Structure 1
């Protein structure tokens, strides 16, 4: 296929690595690779204990639904359904001249028809995206729409979909970053508009775009200072409490933003600890959401407001204890760090009491005796057991756990 012609193809991300077909029910293994459920289930049922793509031995054969990818596939399917495919007929050739006509229309304010054509193309093939983003002025015209006053939400959603699809191409992140944060800083309120009024898929794409282009501390700070952006994001996960895909995307975004004490404090003041506590307490929470909640708490507990909020929300400490040894090694370490910070470093009496009453001693001992409890983590667990033992003695009984003397002085709050 020539550089100046485009046709609709299936994005490789949507194909199962085993069957090579579009995935109906994408699920992710502990290695992070995603497969169609039926294909990977057949692989595992056949006696294999490795990841087919990487050949790594699996520490767990459990898999987690990849809800974000499933939504993207469904969105692509609905868009591509109305377009010709290779199984029927190729889409009409699109030349660079035609794309430049679209760019001119966009710049002159004739958005909808040209954007609809571009959305269809970028959603349906890698070659299409590479061709479009290589044309000088294409990305600038697309980002420029976000800076235009009184643009309908539907138009903004089209722009977000184009950007979210294009960002997978090499170098596009950096180009869009410069366009948004240097040339078109006044376009950021349009992201807020989509987060408020767009479809759920558009909201998720919007957050993914923001995370992808906020690639340094300055741009992360810029994002957090956009009026109402963080409050709208936190409101989303408070109101859409059953959508695990949205929760996963939002938590990734917030984790990437939390680089300074002031940002963490702002998130805490918006009620993030209560949200995280509810996620950890939910029996329906996806594993990835639970693990990112624990990561977020390990970051929040390094600021005074964060520790105060964890102390007030006692359900949070109990939920952290409950999740010990039920998540990945990294997430278990995050959970232990939160407990150590609250109980050992800052001696929070309320949290200490809650951890003891939640059978925390037994859980921490299990961590200490597992592969997680190695090196520094073993010393942290020892600190926790020591202080929980003292608390239990003061409360009238401990259950026979001996003393663990440690001198843990690493891990200090920022």
Structure 2
């Protein structure tokens, strides 16, 4: 097969019962047993008139091609050939040297991506090769190389940049060629595989390290819409985490937050927050981004209008983690105490939010959270007779004021 078969698991029914090799031309006898044509023909030519596997006497010596099995073997063989062979560190170093000398990047980059994905040690090894990371930046930043091999180039850069010793210098270099980088990133976010889109979002977060870079990527055409499209990959936790982290990273100005809200961010986040299968890290990031939206009136208005958002926030209070609870309380405080929105207050009441706030007051939360919880209780205490009668009759005895 052109590779070392000792390291490849071959399905047993792909092997000829006589030679034990993978069959090239599978044929079946009248007994129903399949053999490789060359092996069974030699058996029959030797004068034997039995099936080698069952030793039954053959009623006919006809050989019927097994086309279905042949197609399966071909598909399996193609998939094996497509798998990149493991490479050693010395081979990885040679591939980096090839990148410097050749204009054809596809083969070396594919192998280096496979090597980098192998382990943290491999990624650190590549990051430490003198000139490798700057070389990747130069290739990606060259307008003539844009789009070509962009997926794997962005993947390998994201994998090794985290461990690079002088990341600040590299990010500065990237920003010097930001238009070329942004074009390649958008292309991959729109057209790439899910793995390359996740890597691109993570790379964007690494590169957006200061106010200028955050603003540039957030305002560049289609970046935010494509990040929200990645965020909607509800079946892939890595995609959701990568998109959320990058959105949080670039949400530094009110202008950017308002644009996200206009793109329907509150509805998307509320729906994700309502999903009971989300991890702790995802819930924390969802609540953190919603808290950021509370800093502008547009965000507060959308959250009060969305039917799923506030109930989901209330449900996550005290249920996920300390960080998630702090984000959730800040959101409720902004809507119910600062904004005094009646719809938000009613939603908190229906979700048993007052009981959770009371429990929070008795926990070891931070002073700031305890103060916000106290402010919220005052609001619901004032409105208890008209809005929350059960709260007034059942829990007044543990009111902190």
* TM beyond 0.5: yes
| Deviation (angstroms), 1:127 | 6.3
Which whole-Å CA distance do the structure 2 matches of 1:125 and 1:158 have between them? Answer: 17
> Paired residue for 1:320, among 313, 316, 321?
313
Say whether residues 1:258 and 2:251 are aligned partners.
yes
On the 8 A contact 1:343/1:387 being kept in 2, the answer is yes
Equivalence map 1:1-400=2 (5 Å): 82-84=84-86, 93=91, 99-105=96-102, 108=103, 110-124=104-118, 129=123, 132-133=126-127, 137-148=131-142, 155-238=149-232, 240-372=233-365, 374-395=366-387, 397=389, 398-400=391-393
> Equivalents in 1 of 2:294, 2:153: separation in Å?
37
Q: Which protein shows a greater Rg?
A: 2
Unaligned runs of at least 5 residues, structure 2: 1-79
What is the RMSD computed on CA atoms of the aligned residues?
A: 2.8
TM superposition shift of 1:256: 1.6
Which has the higher mean CA deviation after the structures are superposed, 229-238 or 124-133?
Answer: 124-133
- Report the equivalent of 2:4: none
390 and 178 in structure 1: CA distance in 2 versus 1, 3 angstrom threshold: same
Task: Report the TM-score when normalising by structure 1.
Answer: 0.70
Are residues 126 and 354 of structure 1, via their aligned partners in 2, closer, same or farther at CA, if it must alter by over 3 Å? Answer: closer
Q: 1:118-169 deviations in whole A, cap 9, x for unaligned?
A: 3344334566555654556533432244345586867111101210121122
More helix by share: 2
RCO higher in structure (CA 8 A, sep ≥6): 1
3-state DSSP of counterpart to 1:314: coil
How many residues get paired? Answer: 319
* SS of corresponding position for 1:123: helix
- The answer to whether the Cα contact below 8 Å between 1:146 and 1:188 also exists between their aligned partners in 2 is no
TM-score by length of 2: 0.72
